[in-house]
Amino acid sequence: MRKIIIAGNWKMHKTQAEALEFWQVFNSKLRTKGENKEVVLCAPFTCLSFLAKHLDNTGVLVGAQNIHWEDEGAYTGEVSGGMLTEIGVSYVIVGHSERRQYFADTNETVNFRLLAAQKHGLTPILCIGETKAQRDAEETDNVIINQIKKGIVDVDQNNLVIAYEPIWAIGTGETCEATEANRIIGLIRSQLTNSDVPIQYGGSVNPNNVDEIMTQPEIDGALVGGASLDPVGFARIVNYQ
């Protein structure tokens, strides 16, 4: 059975004090996580060690938002896999569209980062998705297939999560139709050799639309940005019906 993974991507939000405040409320609202459901908080680097200590043995896991492909070296501003595992991080987001857009990540560097994550025993969440212009030009399917093929070269599909995040749906309140997200996720799955890879949807997921999204048969969870900052709302998303 495919695992359900609900992950919050806090992006560049929350100090340690704010993370602790979040956790106290979020933890009190979490209902059954169920054996098949994993909950992950992907926080800024400065919160990771702190959160990992607070979340120890709670069943909620900690994720980073980036990883460098080398173990160490002259790479100012980057963080390696060994640095993340040492402090209790389990997941890492790789290739988020904001990293591709603002920090020059390419399909090739994304692939390097995925391989590094797996080498260190982290589970990478590979983000892929098309722009509005690509969707309007009916290039979505080709863009997605290209990103997936180039991203997962030599990657172990037994330790991989993929997130379909259409860029036009991120932070815009404009969610992709659940049936269309389901179709694209099916397309992504058709490119894999392991059909059990969990594939999430991301892009304006909120407490009001999560139930419909999660009824879709191909969708194995959500990667949530803005709505993961509010502990009550994110608990409602995790407790989807």
Looking at 19-27, 141-149, 196-204, 210-218, which segment touches ligand 13P (CB under 6 A)?
196-204
177 is catalytic: no
Residue type present at position 134: Q
The torsion defined by the Cα of 43, 162, 33 and 206, in degrees rounded to 10, comes to: 70
Pairwise CA distance, residues 154 & 110, whole Å: 12
Active site residue 96: yes
Question: CB 75: neighbour CB atoms within 10 A?
Answer: 11
231 counts as binding ligand 13P under rule CB under 6 A: no
Q: At what angle do helices 231-238 and 16-29 cross, to 10 degrees?
A: 40
Q: What CA–CA distance (Å, rounded) separates 131 from 175?
A: 13
Residue 4 near ligand 13P by CB under 6 A: no
165 is a contact residue toward ligand 13P (CB under 6 A): yes
| Span between the terminal Cα atoms of the chain, in Å | 19
| Region near ligand 13P per CB under 6 A, out of 25-33, 66-74, 110-118, 199-207 | 199-207
Asked if residues 66 and 99 have their Cβ atoms less than 8 Å apart, the reply is: yes
Distance, CA of 238 to CA of 163 (rounded, Å): 16
Contact string 62-101 vs ligand 13P (x = CB under 6 A): ----------------------------------x-----
- Report the residue number, 81 or 95, with the smaller CB distance to ligand 13P: 95
Binding mask 5-44 for ligand 13P (x = CB under 6 A): ----x-----------------------------------
Q: Which residues are catalytic?
A: 96, 165
- What is the binding site for ligand 13P (CB under 6 A)? 9, 96, 165, 170-171, 202-205, 223-227
